[in-house]
Each structure stands twice: as C-alpha cells, then as structure tokens.
Amino acid sequence: MEKEPKRKRPIQKKVRFSQEEWGYLKNKIDQSPYNNFQNFARIMLITGEIVHVDYSELRTLNQEVGRIGNNVNQMARLANQFEEISIDDVEQLLTDVQNLQIMVSSALKKEMQRGR
C-alpha cells in the first residue's frame, strides 16, 4: 500500500495540447508574471483571468524624474555657489518640468484607458 504524499495540493489533472495550442500558451506564460505552466494554469482556472501590467513606461518616467531632480539639484548648487542663476538655466528647468508634466499626463491617460 502506497502512502499518499503530504502535499498542499494533492489532486493532479492532466491536459493535452496540440503544438499550435502549446505555442500559444507558452507565449502567454512567458508574458505573464508566472514562471511555469502549473502556476499560470492554476491561477487562470481559479480566477478566470490573469492580469499582467507593463510598467516599462512608468520605469522610463521614473528615470526621467530622477534626471530632472538631478538638474534641479545642480542648479540649486550653482545658485548657492555663485549666488545667481542665469535665465537660460531657469528656462531649461522650466522646459524639463513641462516635459515631465507631459510624460506623467500621457502615462496616466494610458493607464486609465487600459483600465476601462
């Protein structure tokens, strides 16, 4: 008499796929945050949906915010060191801030449209 292994999930089901179906599924698994078929299939079967959010645009936005922050810090150091700041520096800072506002607005609009 064999002992049942003490597993958290003791029930096993088998599924068969054609090559075309498996290729499609493999692509979906690779795009998902799940690292293998078992995790992907379990979540998909239980919840009926798997949501994958692409944060690449937000990462780009975060990098740009960091660059602008560095520019602001450099300008503040220059202003403190020389006790003055040029019009060109102020205009550049304003341009950077406007670009940031455009990027943030664009990213938010895309996320809001994606959520609909």
pTM of the model: 0.42
Assess whether 26 and 60 both reside in one domain.
no
Assess whether 48 and 64 both reside in one domain.
no
Assess whether 61 and 108 both reside in one domain.
yes
Domain count, the chain: 2
- 35 within some domain: yes
- Domain with 26 in it: 15-52
- Compare 29 and 69 and report the one with higher pLDDT: 29
pLDDT one-digit tens code per residue, 12-54: 889 999 999 999 999 989 988 888 899 988 888 888 866 677 7
- 78 within some domain: yes
At 103 the pLDDT is: 83
Task: Please tell me whether residue 96 adopts helix, strand or coil conformation.
Answer: helix
Assess whether 93 and 61 both reside in one domain.
yes
The string over 62-74, giving b where at least 16 C-beta atoms fall within 10 Å of a residue's C-beta and e elsewhere, is eeeeeebeeeeee
At 104 the pLDDT is: 80
Task: Please tell me whether residue 22 adopts helix, strand or coil conformation.
Answer: helix
Assess whether 19 and 65 both reside in one domain.
no
Q: Is the dihedral of CA 74, 78, 79, 81 positive or negative?
A: positive
